[in-house]
Amino acid sequence: MTTTISPGGQVGRSVPRLEARAKVTGRAEYVHNLRLPGMLYGKIFRSRTAHGRIRRLDVAAARAMDGVHSVITAEDVRRVIPDPYYGPAFHDQPILAIDKVRYVGEPVAVVLAADPHIAEAAAHLIVAEYDELPAVFDEREAMTSTAIVHEVLRPAGTFPDLKHLEGRTNTNIALDFHLRQGDVDAAFASAEQVFEHTFQTQQVLHVPLEPFVSLADATPSSVTIHTASQSPSFVRIEIARLLRWPENRVRVKTLHLGGGFGAKLYIKLEALVVALSLLARRPVKVALSMEEQFYTITKHASTFRIKSAVAKDGRVTARHCEVLWNGGAYADIGPRVTQKSGFTAAGPYDIPAVSIDSYALYTNLPPAGALRGFGIPQLVWAYESHTDLIARALAIDPLTFRRKNLLRNGRPQATGTIMRDAEIEAVLERLAARLDWNRPFDRGAGAVKRGRGIAIGFKASIAPTTSIASVAIHADGSCTLSCGTVDMGQGSDTAMAQIVAEVLNLEAEAIAVIHPDTDVTPYDMATLGSRSTYHMGNAVRLAAEDARDKIAALAASLGLPPGSNLSLAELFRRKYGMQAGTIIGTGSFIPSYSPPDHSTGLTENATPFWMIGATGVELEVDTETGHVRVTRLVNVADAGRAINPRIVETQLSGAAIMQLGFTLFERMNFDKGQVTNASLADYKIPGMHDLPLAIESEFVPAEQQGGPFGAKGVGESATFGVSPAIANAIHDAVGVRLTALPLTPEAVYRAIRAAAGDPLGEE
C-alpha cells in the first residue's frame, strides 16, 4: 500500500475513528437507544398476499385490547396526509396500503401502544381479507405479463429522464434506458465470432445489524424526526412535500448508524412515523425487527443477456447488453440503478460499438433499491463471467485477453465520455502481480481441485449532486464541522475532520463533527454511491478554506502582518476584548455533469470520477460435495489518494467479505411472493468461519483530479469483482460454469454432475 502524507500531516494519516472510544465502550449513540416522554411504539400489520384488493380490514379486536392506544389504517393517514404516496423516483408507495397490496409484507395497518409487546400482540388480532389478483415475480415475465403491479405510473418529477413515463398504463416497466454507440449491427455482421450468454443474480438483503428505526415527535406546526437515515436532507424535503409544509418546520436528526449499505436511503419509515405522531399527538417510534427488514428494501435480482462480437485478433468489436432489474413492488431508487449503472454494462473495455437496453421492472416482491454498488456488482458478475468464457473459448489467457481490450485513460467509454484518472490498467496489473499470475499454479490432487480467477469492474459516480458544509472556529480556537454526511461505519466523520484539520493546520482528533441535523447541518444530497469523500470532501475543504481566509482577514483587520503566528484564541480576544466570537466558513460543491441524451444515452461528461475494483481468487473445489473453499482473496482498487489509509483498507476488505456472502450463499427464498427465510437463522450472512484463509486489500497510487487532496470514493469498489472472480476460479478448477448466483455447494455439485453426463434430479 502506498501512503502519502500531506504537508499538514493530517491527510494520508491513519487517524483512529473519532468515535472509537464511544463504540468500544458501548456508549455510541444510535437512534435505537432513543426514548421520549409519552412515546408510543408502533407495530406494523403486514400483507400476507402478494397482490390483491383489500376486501375487508377488521381492526376492532386489536383496538379493543387493553393498553392499545389506537389502530391506524390508510384512511386515518389520509386525514393528516391527503396524498400519502412517497418515493425518490416515483410517488408510488403509500404510507399504508390503499385499496390493494402489492407484495407480501407490505404495511397495511399499525397498532400504537405505550408497551411494544402489547402493540405486537394486538397487531396479531387484525384480520384482512383480499381478492387475490394475478401476481408477477420474475423480471423476465414482468416485461410482458398481464399482471400489472401499478395501474398508472407516477414519476416523482425529480428526474427529467422519467418524465416520459408519466401516466403510462398497462406496463410494469418503470424505466427503459437505452445507449447506442457506433454501428453495432455492422460489427456483429462482420464478426469473426459471436458469443452470447445470460447471467442471473438473486434477491438479497442489506441486513444492517441495527434494523430500521424512526421516531417522530410532531406538533400541529412542526415535526422532529429522529431516524437512522443515510439521507436526512431528502427526508426533510419529502416530508415537507407530503405535509405541504415549508422545510423549516421539519427537522431530521440522525446519530451513528448501525450499518446502512444503501438500505437506509431516501425515505423508509419516516413518513409513517410522522403520520402516526400527528394522529396520536404523541411521539411515536417504529423499530423494525430483523424479520421486517426482509419486507422493506432489498437488492435487485437481475437477468443480464450479453452478446459480444470478437475479431480474429481477440479484440471485442461490439457488445450488446440487455439488463432486466427486478425492482419489486415499489420503485424506490431502482430506476436510477437502471440508468446510472446501466450505462457501464459493457464493462471497462474499449469496445467501438455498444448497445445497452436496461429495464427497471415492477414485480410483486419486496422493493429493491441501492445496495453497496448500486447495480454494479450485478453487471460485473455478468460481463466478467462473459469475458472469462470468451477468453477460454479463444484459448487466450484471461489476463492477456483483458489487457488486449482494456479501457485506458484518454479513450472514450461507451457513453462517449473520455476516461480520466481511472487507473483500470494499474489496478489490473497490480492484481496480476500480487497473484503472481505467470507462475505455475498448483491444481490440487484427488477429489479436491484448485483454481484461480480474476475480475475487474468500474463504476461511475452516480450522483453528481450538491454537498454543503460549514466550519465554525470558536473563540478559544477550537473547531466544529457541520456536514450532513452520515457516518454509518464508513468513517466519514474522521475523514472529513482530517480534511478540515489539514486546511487549518490542526489535529484531526481535535475537530468536533456534528451528527446530521437538518436544523443545523447544511444540505447534503445523501450518503450513497461512494459520493461523500469526493462531494462532501470538497465542500468541507472549501468551508475550511473559507474559515482560513476569514481568520486571515481578521488578523489583517487587527493590523497583524501576514503569517503572524498569534494563536486563534488571542486573535479573538484582541478583536472582541474577551473570549468571544465565532468565525464561520462555508463551502458548497456540485461537480460538472452532462446528463445522457435520452435516445442514445451518450454524453461527454457522464461522471466526475470513476471507481475501479478488481478481485483475484484462489480456491479449492471438493468435487464430491461441491463445496468451495476460498483460500486467497485479493482486492485491488483505485481510491484516488487515501485520506485515511487504514479506513480505506477496512472498507475494501469489508466490502469484499459482504460480497462473498452474496456470492456463495445469501439468497432470499420465496414461495408465492412470501419470503421463507426471513431471519438470520435461515438467511446466513458471513461469519468468522466464512472468511477466506487469506484476504488482502490494496489500493494503487493514484490521484483524482478535482477530488479533495486527490481523493475519491471507495466504499463499494471491492464488491465489484468478487462474484465473477470466484465463478471464473471454479471454472478453472473443475471446468464447469455457473451462470446464476449464489454459487452454493449444491449448484456447484449439480454442475459437476451435469458436466460428467450424470445430472442429478430436479431440486
Q: Environment class of residue 753 by beta-carbon count within 10 Å: exposed (0-12), middle (13-18) or buried (19+)?
A: middle
Identity of the residue numbered 587: G
Query: Helix axis angle, 532-557 relative to 492-504, nearest 10°?
Result: 30
Using CB under 8 A as the binding rule, whether residue 37 contacts other proteins is answered as: no
Catalytic residue among 192, 210, 716, 762: 716
Using CB under 8 A as the binding rule, whether residue 520 contacts other proteins is answered as: no
* Interface stretch with other proteins, choices 153-161, 253-261, 529-537, 728-736 (CB under 8 A): 253-261
State the minimum distance, in angstroms, from the CB of residue 329 to other proteins: 25
First to last CA, the chain: 46
Long-range contacts of 628-631 (CB under 8 A, 24+ apart): 628/664, 628/726, 628/730, 628/743, 628/745, 628/748, 629/693, 630/660, 630/692, 630/693, 630/726, 631/450, 631/692, 631/693, 631/694
Local structure of 52: helix, strand or coil: strand
State the minimum distance, in angstroms, from the CB of residue 755 to other proteins: 33
* Interface stretch with other proteins, choices 11-19, 81-89, 91-99, 547-555 (CB under 8 A): 11-19
The answer to whether the CB of 332 falls within 8 A of the CB of 234 is no
- Residue ranges with strand state E in 353-398: 353-361, 368-369
What radius of gyration, in Å, describes the C-alpha atoms of the chain? Answer: 27
Site string for other proteins, 687-726 (x = CB under 8 A): xxx-x---x-------------------------------
Site string for other proteins, 193-212 (x = CB under 8 A): -------------xxxxxx-
Query: C-alpha angle with apex 675: 669 to 677, nearest 5 degrees?
Result: 65
Using CB under 8 A as the binding rule, whether residue 566 contacts other proteins is answered as: no
The answer to whether the CB of 538 falls within 8 A of the CB of 707 is yes
Nearest Cα neighbor of 381 from 13, 5, 762, 719 is: 719
Using CB under 8 A as the binding rule, whether residue 650 contacts other proteins is answered as: yes
User: Pick from 491, 522, 537, 608: which binds other proteins (CB under 8 A)?
Assistant: 491
State which residue, 119 or 345, has the beta carbon closest to other proteins: 119
d(CA 673, CA 687): 28
State the minimum distance, in angstroms, from the CB of residue 20 to other proteins: 4
State which residue, 106 or 210, has the beta carbon closest to other proteins: 210
Site for other proteins in 116-135 (CB under 8 A): 117
State the minimum distance, in angstroms, from the CB of residue 245 to other proteins: 32
User: Pick from 7, 26, 37, 410: which binds other proteins (CB under 8 A)?
Assistant: 26
Local structure of 337: helix, strand or coil: helix
Region of residue 555 (phi > 0: left; psi between -120 and 50: alpha; otherwise: beta): alpha
User: Pick from 639, 655, 736, 741: which binds other proteins (CB under 8 A)?
Assistant: 655
State which residue, 174 or 658, has the beta carbon closest to other proteins: 658
| Residue 582 DSSP code | E
Region of residue 380 (phi > 0: left; psi between -120 and 50: alpha; otherwise: beta): alpha
User: Pick from 444, 581, 654, 706: which binds other proteins (CB under 8 A)?
Assistant: 654
* Interface stretch with other proteins, choices 269-277, 387-395, 429-437, 644-652 (CB under 8 A): 644-652
State which residue, 153 or 207, has the beta carbon closest to other proteins: 207
State the minimum distance, in angstroms, from the CB of residue 632 to other proteins: 13
Using CB under 8 A as the binding rule, whether residue 256 contacts other proteins is answered as: yes
User: Pick from 52, 489, 522, 710: which binds other proteins (CB under 8 A)?
Assistant: 489
Distances from the Cα of 359 to the Cαs of 173, 250, 606, in angstroms?
Answer: 7, 35, 19
State which residue, 118 or 733, has the beta carbon closest to other proteins: 118
Nearest Cα neighbor of 486 from 509, 519, 517, 520 is: 517
d(CA 561, CA 239): 51
Using CB under 8 A as the binding rule, whether residue 516 contacts other proteins is answered as: no
State the minimum distance, in angstroms, from the CB of residue 333 to other proteins: 20
Torsion of CA 215, 300, 752, 694, to 10 degrees: -50
Cell of 644: 485515511
Structural element, H or E, at residue 503: helix 492-504
State which residue, 294 or 572, has the beta carbon closest to other proteins: 294
State the minimum distance, in angstroms, from the CB of residue 612 to other proteins: 20
The answer to whether the CB of 748 falls within 8 A of the CB of 619 is no
Using CB under 8 A as the binding rule, whether residue 16 contacts other proteins is answered as: yes
Using CB under 8 A as the binding rule, whether residue 445 contacts other proteins is answered as: no
Q: Which residues contact 89 (CB under 8 A, 6 or more apart)?
A: 155, 156, 158, 159, 162, 174, 175, 331, 332, 333, 334, 335, 336
State the minimum distance, in angstroms, from the CB of residue 714 to other proteins: 13
Site for other proteins in 289-328 (CB under 8 A): 289-290
State the minimum distance, in angstroms, from the CB of residue 82 to other proteins: 36
Alpha carbon 603 to chain centroid, angstroms: 24
Using CB under 8 A as the binding rule, whether residue 3 contacts other proteins is answered as: no
State which residue, 382 or 656, has the beta carbon closest to other proteins: 656
* Interface stretch with other proteins, choices 132-140, 440-448, 587-595, 681-689 (CB under 8 A): 681-689
The answer to whether the CB of 587 falls within 8 A of the CB of 540 is yes
Q: Look up 716 and say whether it is catalytic.
A: yes
* Interface stretch with other proteins, choices 94-102, 126-134, 649-657, 699-707 (CB under 8 A): 649-657
How many residues in total does the chain contain?
763
State the minimum distance, in angstroms, from the CB of residue 106 to other proteins: 22
Site for other proteins in 390-409 (CB under 8 A): none
Using CB under 8 A as the binding rule, whether residue 679 contacts other proteins is answered as: yes
Using CB under 8 A as the binding rule, whether residue 490 contacts other proteins is answered as: yes
Using CB under 8 A as the binding rule, whether residue 108 contacts other proteins is answered as: no
The answer to whether the CB of 143 falls within 8 A of the CB of 102 is no
Using CB under 8 A as the binding rule, whether residue 647 contacts other proteins is answered as: yes
Catalytic residues: 716
Q: Which residues bind other proteins (CB under 8 A)?
A: 14, 16-17, 19-28, 30, 32-33, 35, 117, 206-211, 256-261, 289-290, 488-491, 646-647, 650-651, 653-658, 679-681, 685-689, 691, 695
